[in-house]
């Protein structure tokens, strides 16, 4: 049963510290998404990649957030420096997009981040 995995599942850190979240997409999927969910803002798209290339990162605060795909099996989301307002659940999702048809996304379990 193929699944998206995310690590860590929980992270508590202090303001100003660097946070790195990792995601392993489903093997064979060519598109990876990063979302953030809070009670106030709901589920927000931060960035997404196709074949490891960034397609859209307009949802990310550019000064502190960065997303990369070092290889096809790993996506990372980094926050440096972290702030209390970054506290949220961060979801990674992956999907197989062929042509221009939108296909389903498979979400990971999320990383719950708390910045004190």
**Chain residues in the site for another protein (CB under 8 A):** 4, 31, 33, 35, 42-45, 48, 50, 55-56, 58-59, 91, 93, 95, 97, 100-102, 104-110
Closest to another protein by CB, 15 or 43: 43
- What is the smallest separation between the CB atom of 97 and another protein, expressed in angstroms? 6
Q: Which residues pair with 90 in a beta bridge?
A: 36, 111
Residue 3: how many CB atoms within 10 A of its CB? 13
Q: How far is the CB of 108 from another protein (least distance, A)?
A: 6
- Give the nearest distance from C-beta 16 to another protein in angstroms: 28
In sequence order, the 6+-apart residues with CB closer than 8 A to the CB of 65 are: 46, 77, 78, 79
Whether 107 and 24 have beta carbons less than 8 Å apart is answered as no
In the bound state with another protein, the residue whose beta carbon lies nearer, of 74 and 97, is 97
Nearer to another protein, 14 or 44 (CB): 44
Q: Burial of 104 by CB count in 10 Å (0-12 exposed, 13-18 middle, 19+ buried)?
A: exposed
- Residue 21 CB neighbour total at 10 angstroms: 22
- 16 or 88: CB nearest another protein: 88
Q: How far is the CB of 29 from another protein (least distance, A)?
A: 12
């Amino acid at each position: 049963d193929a699944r998206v995995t995310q690590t860590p599942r929980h992270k508590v850190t202090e303001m100003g510290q660097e946070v790195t979240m990792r995601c392993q997409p489903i093997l064979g999927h060519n598109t990876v998404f990063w979302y953030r969910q809070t009670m106030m803002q709901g589920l927000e798209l931060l960035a997404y990649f196709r074949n490891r290339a960034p397609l859209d990162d307009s949802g990310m605060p550019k000064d502190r957030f960065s997303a990369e795909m070092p290889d096809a099996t790993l996506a990372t989301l980094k926050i440096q420096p972290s702030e209390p307002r970054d506290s949220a659940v961060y979801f990674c999702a992956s999907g197989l997009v062929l042509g221009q048809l939108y296909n389903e996304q498979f979400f990971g379990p999320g990383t719950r981040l708390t910045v004190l």
